[in-house]
Structure 1
Amino acid sequence: MRSLLILVWCAFAAWGTAGAHAQEQDASLPAQAKELLRLLEDPSVRRWIQQAGKTEPAPASTEAATLEPPLSNRLAARLTSVRDHIASTATAVPQLPTQLARAARLLGDELGTTSTARLTLLLSTFLILGLGAERLCWALSAHYRASLGNRPVLSVKERFRTAGLRLATLIAGIAIFAAGSLGAFLLFAWPPLLKQIMLALLVAVLITRGALALLDFAMFPPKPVASDWSDQQIVPVKPDHATYWRRRIGLFVGYFAFGWSIVGILVDLGFPSNFRFAAAYLLGLGLLVIGLEAIWSRPNDSADITPGFSRIVKSIGLSAYGVALWFLWAAGLLGMFWIAVFVTSLPKAISIGKAAVGHLLRPIEGAASAPIRHNIAEVCLERGVRLVILIAATFWLAHIWHVDLVGLTNRDNLLMRLLRGALASVVILLLADFVWQIITAAVDGTLADPVENTAPGSNEAIRRARLRTLLPIFRNVLFVAIAVIAGLTALAALGFEIGPLIAGAGVLGVAIGFGAQSLVRDIISGMFYLLDDAFRVGEYIQSGSFKGTVESFSLRSVRLRHHRGPVFTVPFGQLGAIQNMSRDWVIDKFMINVTYDSDLEKARKISKKVGQELLADPELAPDIIEPMKMQGVEQFGDYAIQLRFKMTTRPGQQAGVRRKAMLRLKTAFDDAGIKFAHPTVHVEGRGEDAAAAQQIITAAKVEAAKAEAADTAGK
């Protein structure tokens, strides 16, 4: 192939120097031949053909053919390519006017075959069908669009619905304009070159209008403007900032779209590649000017209007960054150009997406607090926006670097394989992070669901207790599974053989299983405890010398909080038999001592009445399953009759109900004249001994009175 190109180049070179007869035939050459001649006259093309002619024949050894050139050679070749690109583009700049004049003649020749009336008809139809269809659509939907601006936002769901309807309305207007404009090409036969030019300009107009529509949707509320500017905004922006950035971003996108279309038109007009590059880079200077103007005139976020030193320094840095981007683009270093663009734009895009999601999901003013599920939706939307942005950037870099993320060819060198693996690993890890964040948000949202309105002991309360017990362990297991799968997939994308790694992990797992039998026993025991539903989070259990409220689990142990404060972390293998004190119901029994002269039948009736009063109490009724009643006499004591009482309550509530019951029994027994018995000491003796004791007591009282009188006189 290279030898054929050399022969062709030599033949055309000899033909170019043949003389006047060849010059006369130049006018009859087809456009493709002229383009080939123009390419062969390019210095870089000649240099490549000469180097191709000096290339050594392919080596006979297959191993030598597969050797990659050194890094220094590849770097030198890249620098040479950049230098040739700059030189070729710089050479084409002075010749642009000549090429433009040639293109104008070519366009004039084609349009000269079409009458002025027909051209006027084509352009008029193009404008009337597009703009007319759009104006008609806007007139018919004026009332509906006005209703969108006046629609009250009563819920977050309604806010999303209104935003979706606004976006659909804006897109519908642009789609109708595009359909009407394209109808002009279906109705009439256009000159080929004019058709290509008009289609390119139509695409530029659609891109510009689409960008402006998205800006209006994100930053501007629908008309008529609501009292609260930010109520129907997608991205929270101040009105003056929104107006400023709409103009600058719209101008930047419109200029870029039309410049891109013009460069595409140059292809249809037969411009060589170096002339197209030169035109594109010159048009890019306009983008640079727009960006620099936006940097230096951007609105100040602070209350102080005068720009400070930090603002000037930041503006200088951003300006230098914009100039550097233009030079990278003009030098043909598109990989470095897009990396530099993404380094600064991706964090800003992610922060804007996060702010937009938070703004859309903010609670309605004056309404009840947002449910936990909104936090799950916020996590999903925020992470989803970030995932889409980062994956789009990754695929765009792969496109710029000509990296196939799926295919694998034998011509790929080590650097290309590593680059493909790195980009594929980024996509895999981003997807794994997105899945993990959704799982975490769902589990946390379920664990945070309020339980105040759930009746204790009901099926719903049991279900939620069961979920609070199993979901943390399920989350940990899923984290390990997702991390392992994502890690192995990323290693496979990088080119590592994961088969031996999996086999080695299996052997290592068997070895660990034999060496850590107690750990395996704890894990398996915990699995069976959970399958048997032996205990749940929040329940009070006792196992041997360990007792307390279950606070949390891990794969091998349970955390118990004693009612006095200490925390026990007990491996599942050491629990053994478990006494669960928080299931279903609790029978509470207590004793009361009354005197022997008490009316026991009256005490029974009073106890029954107190039990009914406790059951009627709205504060205590949910905790009482069976009301309190007196079971009868337990035993006759030395100084009292023991009465036994019994009641059935919810687990963990028996102490509070018992205290209330005893308090009411005390009051009721006192009102009924039933006395509570307590131990007393009764001393008896003979008459003279009693008289002597009485005299001693009287003498002691007299002495105490004298001492008190002396103290009073001294004071």
Structure 2
Amino acid sequence: MVAAGLTLAALLWAAQPTPSHAQSNPPAAGEPTPAKVKELLDLLAEPAVRDWLVKQRATPAPPPAAETPSSPSLRERVAGVREHLATLAAAVPTVPDQLHRAASTLMLELDEQGLLWVLFLIACFVALGVGAERLYYYLGERVERWIIALSLDSVEQRLRAVVVRLAYGTGIVAAFALGSVGAFLVFKWPPLLGEIVVSYLVALLIVRLTLVASRFILAPGGERFRILPMTTPTAYFWHRRLGLLVGWLAVGWVTVDLLGRLGVTPDVLRIVAYTLGLGLLAIGLEAVWRQPRPLPEAAPARGRLGTTAIPTLLSVYFVLLWLLWVSSAMPLFWLAVVVVGLPLAMVATQHAVNHILRPPGAADAGAETPGLYAVSLGRGLRAALIVGAVLLLANAWHVDLAEMTAGDTLTTRLVRGALNIVVIALVADFAWHVLKAMIDRKLGETQAAGHVDDEDARRRARLRTLLPILRNVLFAVLVVMALLMALASVGIEIGPLIAGAGVVGVAIGFGAQTLVRDIFSGMFYLFDDAFRVGEYVQSGSYKGVVESFSLRSIKLRHHRGPLYTVPFGVLGAIQNMSRDWVIDKLSVGVTYDTDVDKVKKLVKQIGKELQAIPEFSPHILEPLKMQGVEQFGDFAIQIRMKIKTKPGEQFTIRRRALAMIKKAFEANGIKFASPTVTVAGGADPSAAAAQQALDLVRPPPAAT
């Protein structure tokens, strides 16, 4: 109450007349002074009260609390669109009069110069800009020839070419701007004339900048320098259409702004802008239907429906955009732009990055796995495009992100959590693709050919075995971490979830002991380096080449074709037949009358000849030699030989060695022993055979 009374007193004191005014209007004589007013005047006469009032007047009043704009409902939006269209319909009859009035105002302002003089000035300064650009070309002719002669074989050379061409194109735009807009700004002009000329010069500068940027990206005249891969006719087509589209947009924008300065009402300005927008729509439709089609051999035949479906859908999309713009439904307009434009922008950006950063010697960016730099830059640009699209939509939908981060309502928490989830997903996607690119590049390096006994080849084989497992583990870890962080950003407590997951994990461990045993057994097999991809192993009744393996099983391809999938838990002891070396033993049987020393010399000679063969020489670690007599058999002397080779090569070497042994033994009179059966009797064998033949043909004697 005291503060209210003092405030009222301050207002009355501030509103009291000045002394001169009070003396000129004295109170009426005999008029009684109320006691309350006298007390108030006495209170105001005190110095302390006057000082307090002065301080209160000097202190600025707190600003009124800003009302939080509520988002309009659907009914309100529809009503707003109807009202907007009704306003435009009511303003249509006034368009000719307002345009005529604006033209009259313009002619009055430019009475001394005239419209032709303005057009002449614009043409002159554009010519100055073109002349300055030509001078830049003349002075930079040697630089241009040097750029054309640049080598683009490696990634570093292509990046250097991109930087040099960007700097050269920036110089072209700067020369045009200096010769046109810069020359105009040197002189002093009438306000309206200067504004008109400089506005259209800026519009032309924007067009020139667009053409330079398009030439930098599409390179219609130089396929070697093209950043976005496409055919040359397609590059020329889109280069011209981009220049036409941006030129129409820039000139229309400047014209509408000039009409507004000449007194045209906002409704008529919108009608003029929407009418000029029909030109943009026509350019878009013409580009959609007349764009170069891919060659039949470059793209699969899609039939008539396939060749017309996409242009038809794009035409409907462009018409829908124009209708949304005319209806002033800008949130939906920008949403439609982002929904279609964002995926196209991401795909084009990734193609451009892969094309520029393709590995040396690769003519096509899709022919090989993208490198680490290509994946990092591509995913980074993709994240930037998504963030930019989110900011654009937030601005179009009038969403205050700063207020949303500070608010604590249910809606703000949900939206804030959704934004955090988007950021987490982008970071996880970037990290996963970078790690995957690193692992894939390492796997590509392990595919290089090398000698089996080379230590580097063994290291590559081990990496080829372990890296796929590491890639799967990293993917699982990133997914789990991203999921937990996303839940935490929404406000869900992840501590109980982790504890519950631990309990569930223990229960699953007890219920799936076989699975757990398989996983742990596989981990220890990998730690022990028991096998690698491509090695031939045997375990019990399972044997074959290791094709691949997962966390719980291994796939073995038998040499006859069957594929075994064996869990690690039942694999048991591993016999690896592809490590280090193999000793292959051969046995032959010779007759008892054979000279063993001669056989030894022949085997030694065969070993030297075998090692001299270029096909077998790299794979023979120790030559073929005779170990000695293994045993005396029933019909032969068993000779044992051995040869030491690299794993997997012993089979072909054995076959050649046996063939050479047979040939050498036959040439030196050494006979291979074979079991024989000799039947002997007391009489002549030939006479006995003849007697049996006679008995067969002789008739039996007659019975008596």
- Greater shift, 350-359 or 535-544, is seen at 350-359
Contact 2:556–2:564 (Cα < 8 Å) also in 1: yes
Task: Name 1:287's counterpart in structure 2.
Answer: 280
Task: Name 2:49's counterpart in structure 1.
Answer: none
User: Aligned pair in 2 of structure 1 residues 365, 507: CA closer, same or farther (>3 Å)?
Assistant: closer
> What letter corresponds to residue 616 of structure 1 in structure 2?
A
Tell me how far 1:598 sits from its aligned partner.
Answer: 1.9
Relative to the length of structure 2, the TM-score reads: 0.72
Following the alignment from structure 1 to structure 2, what is the Cα–Cα distance between the partners of residues 643 and 368? 61
User: Aligned pair in 2 of structure 1 residues 465, 249: CA closer, same or farther (>3 Å)?
Assistant: same
SS of 1:548's partner is strand
Tell me how far 1:469 sits from its aligned partner.
Answer: 0.5
Identity of aligned residues (%): 50
The count of residues paired between Structure 1 and Structure 2 equals: 625
Following the alignment from structure 2 to structure 1, what is the Cα–Cα distance between the partners of residues 337 and 166? 28
Tell me how far 1:470 sits from its aligned partner.
Answer: 0.4
SS of 1:592's partner is strand
- Greater shift, 200-209 or 368-377, is seen at 368-377
Task: Name 2:595's counterpart in structure 1.
Answer: 599
Contact 1:394–1:427 (Cα < 8 Å) also in 2: no
Following the alignment from structure 2 to structure 1, what is the Cα–Cα distance between the partners of residues 501 and 571? 31
Please say if 1:471 is aligned against 2:464: no
Q: 1:88-487 to 2 correspondence within 5 Å?
A: 88-90=87-89, 130-146=129-145, 148=147, 165-178=164-177, 183=182, 200-222=199-221, 233-234=226-227, 242-263=235-256, 277-294=270-287, 319-346=315-342, 349=345, 372=368, 392-403=388-399, 408-409=404-405, 425=421, 428-429=424-425, 432-433=428-429, 435-440=431-436, 442-444=438-440, 446-448=442-444, 451=447, 453-487=449-483
User: Aligned pair in 2 of structure 1 residues 576, 329: CA closer, same or farther (>3 Å)?
Assistant: same
Task: Name 1:28's counterpart in structure 2.
Answer: none
Following the alignment from structure 1 to structure 2, what is the Cα–Cα distance between the partners of residues 696 and 676? 33
Contact 1:149–1:221 (Cα < 8 Å) also in 2: no
Structure 2: give runs of 5+ residues left out of the alignment: 1-66, 297-302, 699-704
Following the alignment from structure 2 to structure 1, what is the Cα–Cα distance between the partners of residues 560 and 310? 59
User: Aligned pair in 2 of structure 1 residues 463, 316: CA closer, same or farther (>3 Å)?
Assistant: closer
Task: Name 1:611's counterpart in structure 2.
Answer: 607
> What letter corresponds to residue 670 of structure 2 in structure 1?
I
Contact 1:363–1:370 (Cα < 8 Å) also in 2: no
Contact 2:582–2:645 (Cα < 8 Å) also in 1: yes
Contact 1:93–1:275 (Cα < 8 Å) also in 2: yes
User: Aligned pair in 2 of structure 1 residues 404, 664: CA closer, same or farther (>3 Å)?
Assistant: farther
Following the alignment from structure 2 to structure 1, what is the Cα–Cα distance between the partners of residues 233 and 283? 19
Task: Name 1:649's counterpart in structure 2.
Answer: 645
Please say if 1:694 is aligned against 2:694: no
Following the alignment from structure 2 to structure 1, what is the Cα–Cα distance between the partners of residues 377 and 143? 28
> What letter corresponds to residue 78 of structure 1 in structure 2?
R
> What letter corresponds to residue 258 of structure 1 in structure 2?
V
- Greater shift, 359-368 or 338-347, is seen at 359-368
Tell me how far 1:479 sits from its aligned partner.
Answer: 1.8
Contact 1:552–1:559 (Cα < 8 Å) also in 2: yes
SS of 1:569's partner is strand
User: Aligned pair in 2 of structure 1 residues 405, 576: CA closer, same or farther (>3 Å)?
Assistant: farther
Tell me how far 1:519 sits from its aligned partner.
Answer: 2.6
Contact 2:591–2:636 (Cα < 8 Å) also in 1: yes
> What letter corresponds to residue 656 of structure 1 in structure 2?
T
Contact 1:372–1:449 (Cα < 8 Å) also in 2: no
> What letter corresponds to residue 557 of structure 1 in structure 2?
S
User: Aligned pair in 2 of structure 1 residues 490, 396: CA closer, same or farther (>3 Å)?
Assistant: farther
> What letter corresponds to residue 633 of structure 1 in structure 2?
V
Q: Which of the two has higher C-alpha Rg?
A: 2
Deviations 1:532-570 (A, max 9, x none): 212111222233443332221111222223334333333
Following the alignment from structure 1 to structure 2, what is the Cα–Cα distance between the partners of residues 519 and 158? 52
SS of 2:404's partner is coil
SS of 1:560's partner is strand
Tell me how far 1:183 sits from its aligned partner.
Answer: 4.8
Tell me how far 1:248 sits from its aligned partner.
Answer: 3.1
Task: Name 2:630's counterpart in structure 1.
Answer: 634
Contact 1:111–1:191 (Cα < 8 Å) also in 2: no
Contact 1:110–1:191 (Cα < 8 Å) also in 2: no
Tell me how far 1:454 sits from its aligned partner.
Answer: 0.8
Task: Name 1:509's counterpart in structure 2.
Answer: 505
Following the alignment from structure 2 to structure 1, what is the Cα–Cα distance between the partners of residues 587 and 461? 34
SS of 2:662's partner is helix
Relative to the length of structure 1, the TM-score reads: 0.71
Following the alignment from structure 2 to structure 1, what is the Cα–Cα distance between the partners of residues 552 and 234? 56
User: Aligned pair in 2 of structure 1 residues 512, 622: CA closer, same or farther (>3 Å)?
Assistant: same
User: Aligned pair in 2 of structure 1 residues 388, 597: CA closer, same or farther (>3 Å)?
Assistant: farther
Task: Name 1:36's counterpart in structure 2.
Answer: none
Task: Name 2:53's counterpart in structure 1.
Answer: none
SS of 1:457's partner is coil
User: Aligned pair in 2 of structure 1 residues 409, 385: CA closer, same or farther (>3 Å)?
Assistant: closer
Following the alignment from structure 1 to structure 2, what is the Cα–Cα distance between the partners of residues 368 and 259? 41
Deviations 1:385-421 (A, max 9, x none): 7666555444433332244667634658766765665
Contact 2:539–2:574 (Cα < 8 Å) also in 1: yes
SS of 2:73's partner is helix
Tell me how far 1:260 sits from its aligned partner.
Answer: 3.2
Following the alignment from structure 1 to structure 2, what is the Cα–Cα distance between the partners of residues 646 and 463? 30
- The correspondence for 1:673, drawn from 644, 669, 674, is 669
Tell me how far 1:133 sits from its aligned partner.
Answer: 3.8
Task: Name 1:83's counterpart in structure 2.
Answer: 82
